[in-house]
Structure 1
């Protein structure tokens, strides 16, 4: 059965949802996006994603087409219309349609799209086995803190990682890990300290990242927000990624180096359990 898609205030079968060829999201990647996980028909960490959405829009000077209450209503309605129990909601807002010009149009109506994807999150097999990582150069632009749809290079990085037999990529700049192709990178030192790169324009300000750090500190773990090298990651007791759809997922291999004993480590597993419990309790 076809999914129901939200497009500029209208609910449509996915085959009928059309965007102009003059849309600046299509022509210039002049658009932002957010992904919110859904479990049991409820939204996970929604308020964090909503706040980051507003920040990204503000950085690009794009007005939000809906008020915050109406945007929440749209998320709940698309879950209902598609009978989504577990999966994700993808949201994209572009500056809108205008004749092609590098300068922003003086007036354009933003394009707002939401669609759903059903997929396992709680019982994602990779959470039990862990994933392998290949490191690749980070050749993206320097405003990675804005969650734009400029995802070609992360896609190329992931494809290169898969070509090398890995599950995903970590991007490396000046010898230091910035983040994964679509996730935050973390390591755990031998003494149990969680290390994750501090926030800047070099990486996306991950919502799950922030939640995991809060949970780690609440559980009495030491946390260092700083950059780390590939070599430090390879020598770490554990490594893992976080994102809206991965929660906390262990990394068991970086390039050709096995991390720890090659199985998901106790810290990342504990953080996944804490995150799952707390976010299910606060889901809306």
Structure 2
């Protein structure tokens, strides 16, 4: 039976109860992280924790654990859920208060810490020669101005993703003032004339761990890559489009707004980067990914 973690204890999911006065429930006042593990090995753990620490600091929530304590909790939860290929979801809210008030509680209350795991499907990057690719649509970026904070306030993202699903696509690529920001749950890359381009980090996008690793791998393997703004017309004319996330890794987009991207198949640059990504992952976490 699966287990979750809540405020110091491991338990069955149906035994986990959170106060309705919790500010995560009332105000979406909290931060989350998703950390993949392959063969039970946490992938890019330090990078994920650095982002978690930054997001907590940005909204002034006390970090309840040291980095090593977080590692121990994550590894214990993975073990209690059978190991293998799992994602660890962890969420920290500002905690439960006696009354509903927009202002932060003073004095502060103890944060609420919740963790659970989920299965990771075999990513497309693991089989680049047989991957089929995904579809996306473009939508206006209706989210707030601090998308660099990994907030649990995800209603705009959910609305955008649902529009994509209803249009028969797997992702929405977002546009703000005529430029690409990111996907509803991913970062975006395009390939134009064999050069990879991704939007630079700013308050308008979440600094993705997979995004950063793709940039790092491209530079270490001398694959041309630029971090710069992508106008909408360049997105529509791109030879390749990819989206990246921690659990789906690097996904080729073969159709945008019902029009083929390139020749309508995963591109050669994507295949090259996917192989580098998988090789890196297997060196870190072991060979058996299935």
- TM bucket normalised to smaller: over 0.9
Tell me the equivalent position of 1:120.
Answer: 121
For structure 2, list consecutive stretches of 5 or more residues without a partner in the other structure: none
Matched, 1:165 2:164: no
Structure 1 partner of 2:284: 282
Displacement of 1:182: 0.6
Distance 1:122 1:38 in 2: 13
Distance in 1 separating the partners of 2:268 and 2:125? 17
Query: 1:276 offset after TM fit, Å?
Result: 1.8
TM-score normalised per structure 2? 0.93
Q: 1:133–1:255: 8 Å Cα contact kept in structure 2?
A: yes
Residues 44 and 280, structure 1, Cα contact 8 Å, conserved in 2:
no
Residue 202 of structure 2 is aligned to residue 200 of structure 1 = yes
1:262-284 alpha-carbon deviations (Å, 9 max, x no partner):
11111112212211221332349
Aligned equivalent of 1:151:
154
1:119 Cα deviation from its structure 2 partner: 2.9
Hey, what's the Cα distance between the residues in 2 that align with 1:56 and 1:280?
29
Unaligned runs of 5+ in 1: none
Q: Please list, as runs of the form range in 1=range in 2, the aligned pairs for 1:31-46 lying within 5 A after superposition.
A: 31-46=30-45
Partner of 1:12: 11
Q: Show the 5 A alignment for 1:228-239.
A: 228-239=230-241
Tell me, yes or no, if the aligned pair for 1:5 and 1:78 is still in contact at 8 Å: yes
Distance 2:96 2:263 in 1: 52
User: In 2 relative to 1, CA 28–234 (structure 1 residues): closer, same or farther, beyond 3 Å?
Assistant: same
1:84 CA drift (Å): 2.9
In 1, the alpha carbon distance for the partners of 2:212 and 2:176 equals 22
Residue 129 of structure 1 aligns to a residue whose secondary structure is coil
- Aligned residue pair count: 282
SS of 2:33's equivalent? strand
1:88 maps to 87
CA distance in 1, matches of 2:282, 2:53: 24
Q: CA RMSD in A?
A: 1.6
Deviation at 1:40, TM superposition (A): 1.1
In 1, the alpha carbon distance for the partners of 2:7 and 2:257 equals: 44
Contact map agreement 2:92 2:112 (CA 8 A) in 1? yes
CA contact (8 A) 1:8 1:113 kept: yes
Question: What CA distance in whole angstroms lies between the structure 1 residues aligned with 2:52 and 2:223?
Answer: 30
Q: Which moves more between the two structures, 70-79 or 117-126?
A: 117-126
Match of 1:67 in 2: 66
- Do the aligned partners of residues 134 and 125 (structure 1) sit closer, same or farther apart at CA in structure 2, a change above 3 Å counting? farther
TM-score for both structures, normalised by structure 1? 0.95
**1:109 equivalent in alignment to 2:110:** yes
Question: Cα distance, 1:42 vs. partner?
Answer: 1.1
Partner of 1:183: 186
Distance 2:222 2:37 in 1: 29
| Greater displacement, 257-266 / 194-203 | 257-266
Cα distance, 1:189 vs structure 2: 0.9
Q: 1:46 to 1:241 in 2, by over 3 A?
A: same
Displacement of 1:123 in angstroms is 5.9
Following superposition, the deviation at residue 233 of structure 1 comes to 1.4
Distance 2:232 2:14 in 1: 44
Q: Which residue is 1:221 aligned to?
A: 223
